Amino acid sequence: MELTSLHPTGAESAEKRVGMNQKLLKQLIRQSLAEDIGSGDITTRYSVNPSLRARGVIIAKEDMVVCGLEIVKLVFKEYDRSLRFKAACSEGAWVRKGKIVAEIEGKVISILPAERTALNFLSFLSGIATKTYRFVQIAKGYKVKILDTRKTIPTWRILQKYAVRVGGGGNHRWGLWDGIILKENHLTSLGIKHKKGGFQETILRNLISNLKKATAKKIEVEAENLGEFLSIARCQPDIILLDNFTLSNIKKAVQLRNQYFKSIKLEASGRINIKNIRKVAAAGVDFISSGSLTHSFSSCDVSLELIV
């Protein structure tokens, strides 16, 4: 199965696919190669005949969604432009254990130094895409979008969010510049929410009104319980984030929204996992966001085997 409808076509470059300009992408690849190779691969340098050529196959060692093929190609080409790379499946393809996903051909002294960096990109991004795909499949049949969060590795956000898209998920805001979410600390610092209890709806209502005049961005507000949910809903934000709500309270929030606040979208987040995501989706929320897609996934097992 291939997820070709969920991401750009194979004819597009890595730059278009990922959303990272070529200069930044190459810089990241160069830094990654330098980190691993340093002053040189001394094992290969002192043990392999410089004229020896081989074909290598990259094999999926488990069932997985393949993500990062174009980046793997760029890694090998960055090290030695004479290396020949050929993808054996499409980006976003679901493959079974043992499937050859790509081939690389050329001098062994060029393949081996770049091998680990290339595989690291592939296994890491495929891990995110695979977990996202599983979440999406479990929630299938309900009108809910599975989203990532900002819980990403610094400097890797674009790549991680790309992998989420390849897996069939969607991207939440890219950064603080890309959306307004009033969370607990915002509400507390503005005097809207008090630790001893109480919620100042008037202050929040005025704030949301002013924000709507100042920006076209959607305005989202975090609620930690049903009481806060009702107070926030009466202030008419675009989206309410149901943070760590129990399933029972998610259902109650959805019922209240459907009855009294039909224009407001609901996002569930916190403690979402493979075991409960379908129940949360069935509750009727519009979005489910999970930081685990990019911070608690398992890299996929892939290997490169040379045929001399």
Contacts made by residues 171-178, CB under 8 angstroms, sequence distance 24+: 171/147, 172/147, 172/148, 172/289, 175/150, 178/217
Distance of CA 166 to the CA centre of its chain: 9
Give whole-number Cα distances, 160 to 124, 156, 254, in Å.
9, 6, 30
**Catalytic residue, candidates 183, 234, 271, 279:** 183
Q: Which of 91, 243, 257, 267 is catalytic?
A: 243
Torsion of CA 253, 256, 262, 266, to 10 degrees: 0
Tokens (6 digits) for 274? 């493979």
| Residue from 26, 77, 134, 151 carrying the catalytic annotation | 151
Which residue in 41, 91, 148, 222 is the catalytic one? 222
Name the helix (H) or strand (E) containing 182: strand 180-182
160-191: buried (b, 16+ CB within 10 Å) or exposed (e) per residue? Answer: bbbbbbbbbbbbbbeeeeeebbbeeeebeeee
Instruction: Name which of 76, 74, 67 is nearest 293 in CA terms.
Output: 67
Q: Is 116 a catalytic residue?
A: yes
Is residue 151 flagged as an active site residue?
yes
Residue from 99, 116, 205, 251 carrying the catalytic annotation: 116
Active site residue 222: yes
* In the chain, alpha helices (H): 14-18, 22-37, 42-47, 69-79, 108-138, 157-166, 184-189, 201-214, 226-233, 247-260, 277-282, 292-295
Expressed in percent and rounded to 5, the helix, strand and coil fractions of the chain are 45, 20, 35
Which residue carries 């929410």 as its tokens? 193
Dig out the tokens for 197 from the structure.
């209890």
Task: Give catalytic residues, as residue numbers.
Answer: 116, 151, 183, 222, 243
